[in-house]
Amino acid sequence: MLKLTDLCKRYPTGDEALKKVSLEIPNGQAVALIGPSGAGKSTLIRCVNRLVEPTSGSVQLNDVELTTLSSGKLRAQRRSIGMIFQEYALVERLTVMENVLSGRLGYVGFWKSWLRRYPGEDIKEAFRLLDRVGIMHMADKRADELSGGQRQRVGIARALIQNPELLLIDEPTASLDPKTSREIMRLIRELCQERNLAAIINIHDVMLAQMFAERVVGLRFGEIVYDGPPDGLTPDVLTEIYGEEDWEATIETVENEDVETADAVDHAT
Amino acid sequence: MSDAVTPKNYPSIWKKPPLIKRGWLRWSLWFGAAIYLAIGFGTLEVDWQRVSEGIPRGQRFLSAFFPPDIFSRWDSILDGILESIWMTVISTVAGIALSVPVGLGAAKNLAPKPVYMVCRFIVALSRTFPEVILAIFAVKLFGFGPFAGFIALSIATVGFYAKLLAEDIEDMDPVQAEAIRSTGASWFQWVNYAVQPQVMPRMIGLAVYRLDINFRESAVVGIVGGGGIGATLLTAFDRYEFDSAAAILLIIIAIVMGLEYASGYLRQKVQ
Amino acid sequence: MAIINTESGPVWKRRTTKQEWIYWLCWLAAAAVFVYCFKLVSDKTIWFFVTDAGAQAQDMASRMVPPKWSYIHDLWRPIWDTINIATLGTALALVIAVPIAFLAAKNTTPHPTVRAAALFVIVSSRSINSLIWALMLVAIIGPGILAGVIAIGLRSVGFCAKLLYEAIEEIDETQVEAIKATGASGAQQLSYGIVPQIMPAFAGISVFRWDINIRESTVLGLVGAGGIGLQLEASISTLAWTQVSVILLVILATVIVSEWVSAKIRHAII
């Protein structure tokens, strides 16, 4: 379980990215974090694993307070927090396999990782995950030879090999086409269910959020303005999150498009 | 999903695919490199006794270096530095002035084939020999003093600047060039309107960079008699006045640093 | 750009009158500096020698041909030494330059003071020509190839470290962030996040500098630091011009070959 209490972040420029955000996410729940650009979505998930240092407030993962940890202990905790990035953030010039194995870096010593001598169990698990995300035949390819969807699959495998308790997912579909976006989101949802993972998914596509998350949190100017089920996203709520716009069209398409039929189409291809 | 139904046996060993795929080539490259290093070190012919003698000598050398003594030879240092600066300025200006026609001629997309060949030959010839060798011959021909250094540095500047100018012109955006050509512009108008604006910013940066190089090189043309601070430096070494030598080196470093800041500033401004 | 209203309607000019003045004044100032510097140099020049240069050149050229081809057999060893000085010197430089580059790059330096120190090392190494380094080293460890190797090494450290730290500063930070998020240690972030990204730059810089060093190591012999420069110095001082021409042709060939090799390698890398 992840518990944020009164989390604040003020950048040196004076921008207040987060204003006393409190949020509780039980295990096995995938939460979609929506909101306009600059609402603080990215800052929020980076404050959890302290890629961005929060100014005040507390972050607790399974009752361990993360904000006060020393850097060594923080690294140990980061191992149980998987992160998936917007532009995949793979190390482009390393092979797919090395990218996946890099998820184990927190568990292996420096020289072993330098010489690429990972334990057999890790390599087995890496192959299993690559197979699970459907790109095992790509293991020896260099990451920059892959397409966007394939790269994001590598990114997912890298996060999962950490054997995490929590997934932080930053705009996983921002640079993918609509079909691949859905495939990736479906994969993420399935994996969360399989492993009973808590997940925060930053996403700016309201439709995808409604389709694949069981809970939606709306963020505006660093404050939570909505927290509830996906079907509670009425035009009024969206106006509150994003500002004035004709929201009927967005919601209507979602209602017309049944999630199950979309699944069937994707499986057929 | 499928993996839950049929548990597969995944390999537990993985090796990073090697950079060079062909095994024999990879091994022979490693082998060749090892042999080269062995022979290379073997023919170094280090006189270890001389080197071990050199260690206390090096310490004395360093202690003589500090503190650097600017004042006892101040007149000759100032003289040498100023001479270097004049030499640098005029050889950079003259070199670049000569480079412009040569560089235009050495650009494949600008010049007719025979002109291109001649200009490329000039560039290659002036690039081959280090400044010092050029300076040796300039001293033989023009006598001792800064004029020989000026000639040597100007020739070296042509080799450097004309080559980069030609490459920059060859890399320019052909669409802009075509647009100007389609207006019916003459060759000179075309160069003035299509080529010049595209290559100018980088060329200004490179001119300052070359000024910087010429200043540094002016210190070595002096060693073979080409005038400038090098002559003063060599005298200081010959007389074992290492504190003066240290002062000269520090002044060179300071001026180069200043030039580097200036070129950074100028490049920001023109871009 | 300016549009000036005159009696016969607006006229377009590239610059306003004031800009025009400043523009020409700058040119005038630059020309004045040039003329002044030239005058100072010309004061120190014995013009008789300069006017005589044409005849001198003819004389020298006539003494240089035909080249004494048999002399080339005495040159194989110096050529080998020259190449060794360049190669081993480049290797030495790279070994020193890598840590300095990491200390000098904004995103990997442990502390701003360390960065300033590293930058000073880089500038010092770059400002002092390899011939001057050689001059000092010959005084310390005696004449020979070792002095040449170290001189080339010390001179190249600054060049390689400068280009390398610029490459480090230009890396994609999100890749490093992703490695950091897995709980990797600082050294692991370096080896997985940064090193793969700068490898192509590193290879390119090494070959580029090696090519330059071949050229520079041909003259180190002038101050006694080994290589073909020793023969050049000896031949010039004994006025053996037919040998000099052979040496110059050999240098020319070496430089052309090294340029060809480095172009091939760079092509293969990229």
**Band of the pLDDT at B3, cuts 50, 70, 90?**
very low
Question: Is the confidence at residue A237, as pLDDT, over 60?
Answer: yes
Contact C183 A85 (CB under 8 A): no
Question: Is the confidence at residue A175, as pLDDT, over 90?
Answer: no
Q: Does A64 touch chain C (CB under 8 A)?
A: no
Chain C, 185 to 214: residues with Cβ < 8 Å from chain B are none
Intra-chain end-to-end CA distance of chain C, in Å: 44
**Band of the pLDDT at A251, cuts 50, 70, 90?**
low
Residue C44 C-alpha, separation from nearest chain B C-alpha, in angstroms: 7
Query: Quick one: which of A72, A124, A77 has its CA closest to A100?
Result: A124
Question: Is the confidence at residue A260, as pLDDT, over 50?
Answer: no
Q: Which ranges constitute the DSSP H helices of C142-194? A: 145-169, 173-181, 186-188
Residue C233: CA atoms inside 13 Å, Cβ hemisphere, count? 17
Calpha distance A136→A144 (Å, rounded)? 16
CA C128, C249, B41, C101 dihedral sign is positive
pTM exceeding the 0.90 threshold for the entire prediction: no
Using an 8 Å Cβ cutoff, are C130 and C220 in contact? yes
Q: Which of C175, C195, C199 is best to mutate for the A interface (most A CBs within 10 A)?
A: C175
Of C175, C181, C185, Cβ closest to residue A91: C175
Calpha distance A46→C269 (Å, rounded)? 37
- Strands, E assignment, C32-143: none
Quote the pLDDT of residue C176: 92
Element (H, E) at A137: none
Q: State the amino acid at position C161 in one-letter form.
A: A
CA distances (Å), A235 to each of A39, A240, A246, in order? 19, 9, 8
Contact C84 B50 (CB under 8 A): no
Average pLDDT value over all residues in chain B: 83
Quote the pLDDT of residue B24: 86
Q: State the amino acid at position B97 in one-letter form.
A: A
Q: What are phi and psi of A19, to 5 degrees?
A: -120, 100
pLDDT in tens, B202-240: 888 888 888 888 988 888 888 888 888 888 888 888 887
Q: Which of chain B's residues have a Cβ under 8 Å away from the Cβ of A126?
A: 14
Of B50, B57, B133, Cβ closest to residue C219: B133
Q: Which residue of B has its CA nearest to A101?
A: B14
Calpha distance A197→A191 (Å, rounded)? 8
Interface confidence (ipTM) of the complex: 0.83
Intra-chain end-to-end CA distance of chain A, in Å: 37
Query: Quick one: which of B115, B203, B112, B201 has its CA closest to B165?
Result: B203
Domain ranges of chain C: 2-63, 71-269
Question: Is the confidence at residue A265, as pLDDT, over 60?
Answer: no
Contact B133 C127 (CB under 8 A): no
Domain ranges of chain B: 74-270
Using an 8 Å Cβ cutoff, are C248 and B129 in contact? yes
Quote the pLDDT of residue B92: 92
- Strands, E assignment, chain A: 2-10, 16-25, 30-34, 56-61, 64-65, 81-84, 166-170, 198-202, 215-220, 223-228
Of C46, C132, C215, Cβ closest to residue B130: C215
Helix pair angle (B229-238, B196-221), 10° resolution = 30
pLDDT in tens, C171-229: 998 999 999 999 888 899 999 999 999 998 898 899 989 989 998 999 998 888 888 98
CA distances (Å), A89 to each of A151, C5, C105, C153, C245, in order? 9, 58, 21, 37, 58
Calpha distance C109→C105 (Å, rounded)? 6
Residue A43 C-alpha, separation from nearest chain C C-alpha, in angstroms: 14
Question: Is the confidence at residue C96, as pLDDT, over 90?
Answer: yes
Calpha distance B21→C38 (Å, rounded)? 60
Q: Which residues contact C47 (CB under 8 A, 6 or more apart)?
A: none
Q: Which of chain C's residues have a Cβ under 8 Å away from the Cβ of A105?
A: 179, 182-185, 188, 192
Q: Which residues pair with A155 in a beta bridge?
A: none
Using an 8 Å Cβ cutoff, are A129 and A10 in contact? no
Q: Which residue of B has its CA nearest to A194?
A: B1
Which subunits have 3 or more CB–CB pairs within 8 Å of chain A?
B, C
Residue C8 C-alpha, separation from nearest chain B C-alpha, in angstroms: 28
CATH number of B74-270: 1.10.3720.10
**Band of the pLDDT at C1, cuts 50, 70, 90?**
low
Query: Quick one: which of B62, B235, B106, B83 has its CA closest to B153?
Result: B83
Helices (H) and strands (E) in chain B, counts: 12, 0
CA distances (Å), B118 to each of B82, B102, B161, in order? 36, 9, 16
Calpha distance B69→B51 (Å, rounded)? 27
Q: Read out DSSP for B176-198?
A: HHHHHHTTT--HHHHIIIIIHHH
Q: Give, as one character, the DSSP assignment of residue C141.
A: H
Q: Which of chain A's residues have a Cβ under 8 Å away from the Cβ of C171?
A: none
**Band of the pLDDT at C2, cuts 50, 70, 90?**
low
Using an 8 Å Cβ cutoff, are C254 and C80 in contact? no
Give the CATH architecture of domain C71-269.
Orthogonal Bundle (1.10)
Q: What is the mean predicted confidence (pLDDT) over A147-159?
A: 90
Report residue C181 as tokens. 């998020």
